[in-house]
Amino acid sequence: MPVSLEWADQPAAPGTLRAELHWEGRPGTAAGITSALRNWKLVRFEATEDPTPGTDGVRFSFTPTLGVFTGVIGASGDIMVPEDRLRAVMANAAVGKATLEQELDRLLGTPWDNELEPFRRAGDGAPVRWLHAAV
C-alpha cells in the first residue's frame, strides 16, 4: 500500500532529513524493506520485526559505510547469535584475523549502533519513539 512519510530536519547531519514509520506485516517484510532501501546508497536506516509466538524477531541496520547488519532478536529483545557464527568468530580470533572483542562487536552490531546512534536521537521536531514494557 502507498506510504506517506512525515519528513523533518535531521540535526545529526545538517541538510538531510529523517522520517520514521511504524508498520505491520507478515514475517519477512523487514527483509524486503531492507532490500529496497539499501539500493538508495546514501540512506541510513533500521527495519525491525518484533518477535511473535513461534517467530524470532529481526533487526536490519544499514549505513553507507558499513552496509547491512542483520541480527536475530529474541523474546527479551536481545540479539541472539547462532552457534556457527560464534564458532567462526573464535576461529578467526585464534588465527589472528581479528581480536575476539572486535569479532563479537561485529556479531552484536556494535559498529552499526555506534554509527546510527546520533541519528536515532530525536531532535528539533523529529518524532520521539517511546518504548513501553510488555505486560
Rounded average pLDDT over 63-85 = 93
35: containing domain: 26-122
User: What's the gap between Cα 90 and its chain centre?
Assistant: 24
In a domain, 79, yes or no: yes
The answer to whether the predicted template modeling score (pTM) of the entire model surpasses 0.85 is no
In a domain, 132, yes or no: no
In a domain, 61, yes or no: yes
Q: Which residue has the cell 547531519?
A: 13
In a domain, 115, yes or no: yes
Q: Is the pLDDT of residue 13 over 90?
A: no
> Residue 130's pLDDT band (boundaries 50, 70, 90)?
very low
- Which residues pair with residue 67 across a beta bridge? 63
